[in-house]
Structure 1
Amino acid sequence: MNWDDFRIIAAVRDEGTYAGASARLRIDETTVGRRLARIERALGLRLFEAADGVRKPTAQCEMVLAHVQAMAVHADEIGRIGESLPGPVGRLRIASTSAIAEEVLAPRAANFLRAHPGLSLQFLTSSENVKFSRWEADLAIRLRKPDRGDFAISKLAEIRIYLFEPIAAAAGDAVMCVYPDELDGTPEMQFLRARRVRGRCVTDNVRVIRTLIQSHQAAGVLPEHGCADLLSDRRLRATLLPKRRDAWLLVQNHLKHDAAARITIDWVRACFQEISRG
């Protein structure tokens, strides 16, 4: 059963003939008859009886049509939801790392959604990149520029990064946190490799690194978002590194001129501008 099947039942009841239903639904008359026969087989019911050249609904058909009418009302109400909401309507899927979603987007999402009641956001968080070619997301934030792809790409921000070290720990005593080998090309790892540090805690989760640093027994490099408490911690030494981490925004091509997408893109950019000013 699907909505088109139910529309055929209603059209035959209203028009009284397959020809009338055909004209109303703009499908072939033989198609109406064939699909109605299939519907009757699926339901195990006889829906219409022919009398004086008119298709009259059976008692069972009237019961079905009562539900069809209710469904039609709900379908109409669903179609009007967008009309009752100010501004664009849509649902956007945003893919990013957990840290970006939690520390950059989520703190600012409630105000954005309250200002745009027709919009909904779905956050897709993972350390793995989504496959845009498979339409797994509408927007994505990546910390490494993709080599190629069928999507629009632009730089969001240059994120400051800091080395945090416990002041009380003697040289070499602090547990050094590093990222895994696949992130060797990042500014954070380039800096640590140049210092020839021995990484003893390996993780791509910045929350794990931050927790270790907060113990005042570990050192590591973190992006500026989510580091306000560490920067004000007098038991830590924070060194701003010369290189910054780029953040890139990927947008599905078909959404470049979509009103809901444009508002969301502008909001994402504003989120990153805010942390850059902070």
Structure 2
Amino acid sequence: MNWDDLRIIAAVRDEGTYAGASTRLRIDETTVGRRLSRIERALGLRLFEAADGVRRPTRSCEAVLAHVEAMAVHAAEIGRVGESLAGPVGRLRIASTNTVAEEVLSPRASDFLRANPGLALQFLTSSENVKFSRWEADLAIRLRKPDKGDFAISKLGDIKLYYFEPVTTEREPVLCAYPDELGAIPEMQFLRTKQGRARCVTDNVRVIRSVIRAHEAAGVLPEYVCADLLADRRLRATLLPKRRDVWLLVQNHLKRDAATRVTIDWVRVCFQEMSRA
């Protein structure tokens, strides 16, 4: 049963005849009768009684119509949702790593959503890239420039990288590194210049940060997760000469969408504020 079928019940009740309902709904009279019979079979109810050439609703019909009328009110209210909200309206799915969402985007999300009551954000967080070509996300933030595809690519900025090591330690610090598949990133290029083998390997920067905090390990971290480490006098921080590029991917069909444009501007501001901080 669908909404059009339910509208037939209301039309027959209001017009009193199949002919009147067909004129109102602009469908054939036989179609009205056939669909009404289908509805009655589906519900197991008799909805109308014929009396003096008029279709009169049964008590069961009146009960059904009370729900139909409530649905009509809700449908009308849904149609007015956009009119009642200031600014653009939409739901945007943003894919990024966990730490970008936690440290860069989410601290600034409340103010953005408060200023844009018609918008909703869904954060898709994972160390694995979503299938952007399959529309699993509307926007994606990548820390490596992706291959060309059916989407718009623009550079958001770059991220400072710091190598942390304990100022003093009784033994050689544990070297933290990233997996071999990330061997091309600036962090790994720098770490290959260091002596010793990596004994803590992970793609999770929060794990590396926690290990470094114990003042017995060394590793490279992006600026957005290491503010506390930079203030730690028991650690030596070295700014790497290379930075990590940040890229924004946008689905082509959304490039001119008002909600998307506002969200893109906000994402750019998030990274600008992170750099200034």
TM over 0.5: yes
Secondary structure in structure 1 of the residue aligned to 2:247 = strand
Note closer, same or farther for the CA distance 1:95–1:26 as it changes in structure 2 (3 Å cut): farther
Q: Could you give the per-residue CA deviations for residues 169-199 of structure 1, whole angstroms, max 9, x where no partner exists?
A: 25x7111111112211211112212435411
1:257 aligns with 2:253: no
Change (3 A) 1:134 1:56: farther
Establish whether residue 90 from structure 1 lines up as the match of residue 128 from structure 2. Answer: no
Give the distance between the partners of 1:123 and 1:204, measured in 2 at CA.
Answer: 19
What is the match of residue 63 of structure 1? 63
Q: What percent identity do the matched residue pairs reach? A: 79
Shift of 1:135: 2.3
Tell me by how many angstroms 1:245 deviates. 0.9
Q: Whole-Å Cα distance in 2 between the matches of residues 26 and 110 of structure 1?
A: 48
Query: Deviation of residue 229 (structure 1)?
Result: 0.8
CA drift of 1:40 comes to 1.7
Q: List per-residue Cα deviations over 1:122-161 (Å, max 9, x = no partner).
A: 1111111111233221111111222132211111111111
- Equivalence for 1:152: 152
Question: C-alpha distance in 2, partners of 1:64/1:259?
Answer: 40
The whole-number CA distance in structure 1 between the counterparts of 2:271 and 2:29 is: 58
Alpha-carbon distance change, 88 to 174 in structure 1, aligned in 2, over 3 angstroms: same
Once superposed, what is the RMSD of the aligned Cα atoms?
Answer: 1.9
* Structure 2 contact 174–199 (Cα < 8 Å) conserved: yes
Q: Counterpart amino acid of 2:91?
A: R
Q: Using the TM superposition, give the Cα deviation of residue 254 of structure 1 relative to its aligned residue in structure 2, in angstroms.
A: 1.7
Question: How much has 1:29 moved relative to structure 2?
Answer: 4.5
Distance in 2 (alpha carbons) for counterparts of 1:34 and 1:242: 76
Paired AA for residue 246 in structure 1: D
Change (3 A) 1:209 1:14: same
Residue deviations 1:21-74, cap 9 Å, x none?
444444555444333332222211122234454433222111000011112112
CA contact (8 A) 2:206 2:225 kept: no
For residue 10 of structure 2, what is the aligned residue in structure 1? 10
Aligned residues: 277
Task: Kindly provide the amino acid, as one letter, of the partner of residue 236 in structure 1.
Answer: L
Gap regions ≥5 residues in structure 1: none
- The equivalent of 1:266 in structure 2 is 265
Mapped partners of 1:79, 1:158: distance in 2 = 42
Which stretch has the larger CA shift, 254-263 or 46-55?
46-55
Deviation sequence 1:244-271 (CA, Å, 0-9, x none): 1111111112211111111111000110
Check 1:40–1:232 CA distance in 2 against 1; reply closer, same or farther (3 A cut): same
Q: In the alignment, is residue 37 of structure 1 matched against residue 37 of structure 2?
A: yes
Q: Aligned with 1:13: secondary structure?
A: helix
The residue aligned with 1:130 is 130
Which deviates further from its counterpart, 154-163 or 36-45? 36-45
Q: Structure 2: 5+ residue runs without aligned partners?
A: none
User: Which secondary structure state, in structure 1, belongs to the residue aligned with residue 80 of structure 2?
Assistant: helix
Change (3 A) 1:173 1:57: same
Please give the secondary structure, in 2, of the residue aligned with 1:271.
helix
Q: How does 1:118-197 map to 2 (within 5 A)?
A: 118-169=118-169, 173-195=172-194, 197=196
